[in-house]
Each structure stands twice: as structure tokens, then as C-alpha cells.
Amino acid sequence: MKPVLREPDASFDDDEEYDPENDLFATPELLPKKVQAVLTLFENMDESYEECQRFEDALKPLGYTFDWYLTAQPYNLRKIKSPSRVMKAVYKIFKPVRLFFLRLF
């Protein structure tokens, strides 16, 4: 199954984040070789949620993710955004609190 490029649909809230011009499925030749290899591996995948999950699991360690339709067709391939410095600081500050509560349970 080939990933599809889609036009934004006003019925979905996440569409304001989707930009077909930035969907990396449109330009696989510009992606790193390892990502291209994963795309090639899953080029003829079954149309199932499980297969989409396996596809996404293969891309995540390489720093990429995507969305998929209810029909299990992938779209919106993109780099995973790294957490902001603020979020990293908040996580660091609350780490002792998390560890304290984990010991309680």
C-alpha cells in the first residue's frame, strides 16, 4: 500500500496542523537512507491498524512518525519534534516528585 497525500478536511481538528506541502511521503528521496529503507520495506503492507503500528514503530527510533486514516492509509510523514527546553526543565523539576509517588505505590 502506498502512503497517500491528502487535502485538508475541515471536519477534523488536527487538519490545521497538516500541510500537504510538508508531508515527507511526497519527497522520499530527500529522506535519510535508513528511513527510505523502512519506507521500501512497508511499501506493500497490508491495510490494517496493526501494520500501521508496526510501520510507525519502525520509524520512531529514526526520529519520524506519521498519521493514518481509519482505512489504515498512512499520511503526514514528519520528523518527531523534540521537547522544548521548558518541557525538559519541568520534567527535571518534577522528577523527584514522580519518584516519591512511585515508591508509595
Q: Is residue 33 in a domain?
A: yes
Q: Is the pLDDT of residue 78 over 90?
A: yes
The structure's pTM equals: 0.64
Give the distance from CA 27 to its chain's centroid: 16
CA angle 29, 75, 4 (to 5 degrees): 75
Q: Is residue 67 in a domain?
A: yes
Taking alpha carbons only, the member of 28, 86, 85, 96 closest to residue 59 is 28
Domain limits for position 38: 13-80
Q: Is residue 100 in a domain?
A: no
The pLDDT tens digits of the residues spanning 48-66 come to 999 999 999 999 999 999 9
Q: Is residue 40 in a domain?
A: yes
Q: Is residue 93 in a domain?
A: no
Question: How many structural domains does the chain have?
Answer: 1
Q: Is the pLDDT of residue 15 over 90?
A: no
Q: Is residue 21 in a domain?
A: yes
Whole-number Å distance between alpha carbons of 56 and 39: 10
Q: Is the pLDDT of residue 2 over 50?
A: yes
Q: Is residue 41 in a domain?
A: yes
Choice between 75 and 105, residue whose per-residue pLDDT is larger: 75
Q: Is the pLDDT of residue 92 over 80?
A: no
Q: Is residue 1 in a domain?
A: no
